[in-house]
Amino acid sequence: MSSISEFVEDTKSQAVDELSDLLRIPSVSTVSAHDSDCRHAAEWIEQYLKRLNFSRTELKADENHPVVWGVGPNAPGKPTVLVYGHYDVQPPDPLSLWESDPFTPTVRDGKLYARGVSDDKGQVVAVLKGFEAAVRNGEVPVNLRVLIEGQEESGGEVLFGLLEREPELTEADVVVVSDMAYYLPGYPAVYTGLRGICYAEITVRTAKADLHSGAYGGVAPNAHEALLRILAKLKAPSGRIRIPGLYDLVERPSKQILNGWKSLPFSETKFRKHEVRSRALTGLSRYTVLERLWALPTFEIHGISGGFTGEGAKTVIPSEAMAKVSLRLVPRQTASKVLLLLKKAVRELAPSYADVDIRSIHSGDPVLVNTDAPVFESLSRAFVEVEGRAPVLIRSGGSIPIVPELRKRGATMILTGIGLPDDGLHAPNEKLNLDQFYKGMEVFGRFFELLGEA
Ligand code: BES
Ligand code: ZN
């Protein structure tokens, strides 16, 4: 048994207790009612870094969603590793679908259930525990820098501002982002790209106020009808998004990349039945499911509000309707350009009698990263030792807004993770398998050790 795995064996139940303390803090960044909880989560992490003998810790840039900054114990001559993660989480609703309270971490069947356990608190703790394991015998393997933000789930504005003012915070040889999942159980992954996102709110107004649907029905314009017509026209039944210009910059991955994806174990039926849990998969059927997920843009309607949806019936013609929508973006597209295309398309589709307002809520650009630097060898070795398999190279359909900015700064960017695809990110009953958490501590511990030896 290596000293790392001994450490994990001896401390794993304490690690779960510590993680559970962090999970009890409802640090939802998307609604202001949780501002003080976000701050509290940041303070918790800062205290945790202090326990790890960090030489400097600071809460930076914002009262409500501070960025946790930390400098680990000094390791002269060793590489500098920047660990990025986020302590904020998505809202837990619908609450009624949770089997246990989202902020009361609960173990069932070897899985820890709580909002944020896989995305991203459990992963942040696993990396830091790995570091703790690797320094235990007195020698510090790497110069660790920690940058944990509290707005990843809401666009990352605070961190963008901070890095503009203090670019030196990101000086490092390697950046580690553990906010993703294995490809499949037993198949660790290193990510070569993330999609971007352009999230917007579309509001349609058709009259000064709501109207009696008997007195005015037949002549008065209906805001919901106008909005729905617009939305329905934005995507063809084939799955093709009808925003002129949207596909112009989409570049098909090379044959070599596509062949790599084709060689991954993948069962469309299993994926549909166990992950998507639907009767069918939709989208552009000319492309494989993985290509649709990783290399093509999307358009989704997240929710529609306005008008009457209360108990009973109310005969009213709504004068205003609002939809939250987003597009996922692929390499070469940019969020700012796509927002303009969306605005133009919506305005053109809107009936002349409707006032349409499109407001950006947040955005992030897509990113591709190289995975040929020597540090990937160390990570690969760590995964082989712990999991028995080297990571597969894949992309993610999800987004992490700050990653393109971090990548620009020159350090080698490692995108990986210890979750599993069925962890239920952003959904009810989010979980992290405890053995993934323990393996994660071990993988990162070995990774830091190997980096220190290199
Ligand atoms: N951890 C996820 C990113 C992710 C999702 C990776 C799925 C792998 C698979 C991240 O925390 C996230 O959810 N990001 C948001 C960003 C957005 C709100 C700006 C996302 O992708 O929706
Ligand atoms: Zn995340």
Contact status, residue 118 vs residue 419, Cβ threshold 8 Å:
yes
Ligand at minimal distance from the CA of 425 is 1
Gap between the Cα atoms of 28 and 184, Å rounded: 28
In terms of DSSP bridges, do strands 174-178 and 80-86 run parallel, antiparallel, or are they unpaired?
parallel
Contact status, residue 291 vs residue 261, Cβ threshold 8 Å:
yes
Global pTM? 0.94
Atom of ligand 1 nearest to the CA of 195: 21
Gap between the Cα atoms of 229 and 226, Å rounded: 5
Contact status, residue 96 vs residue 160, Cβ threshold 8 Å:
no
**Per-residue pLDDT of the chain in tens (454 residues, 90 and over written 9):** 578 999 999 999 999 999 999 999 999 999 999 999 999 999 999 999 999 999 999 999 999 999 999 999 999 999 999 999 999 999 999 999 999 999 999 999 999 999 999 999 999 999 999 999 999 767 899 999 999 999 999 988 999 999 999 999 999 999 999 999 999 999 999 999 999 999 999 999 999 999 999 999 999 999 999 999 999 999 999 999 999 999 999 999 999 999 999 999 999 999 999 999 999 999 999 999 999 999 999 999 999 999 999 999 999 999 999 999 999 999 999 999 999 999 999 999 999 999 999 999 999 999 999 999 999 999 999 999 999 999 999 999 999 999 999 999 989 999 999 999 999 999 999 999 999 999 999 999 999 999 999 8
167: number of Cβ within 10 Å: 11
CATH class for the region spanning 3-194+366-453: alpha beta
Closest residue to atom 5 of ligand 1, CA basis: 398
Question: Domain coordinates of the chain in residue numbers?
Answer: 3-194+366-453, 196-250+297-364
Q: Which of 152, 182, 302, 416 to mutate to test the pocket of ligand 1 (most atoms within 8 A of CB)?
A: 152
| 86 CA distance to ligand 2 middle (Å) | 7
Ligand at minimal distance from the CA of 194 is 1
Tell me, using a 6 A CB cutoff, whether residue 320 lines ligand 1: no
Tell me, using a 6 A CB cutoff, whether residue 179 lines ligand 1: yes
Tell me, using a 6 A CB cutoff, whether residue 326 lines ligand 1: no
Tell me, using a 6 A CB cutoff, whether residue 298 lines ligand 1: no
| 119 CA distance to ligand 2 middle (Å) | 4
The CATH number of 196-250+297-364 is 3.30.70.360
Tell me, using a 6 A CB cutoff, whether residue 180 lines ligand 1: yes
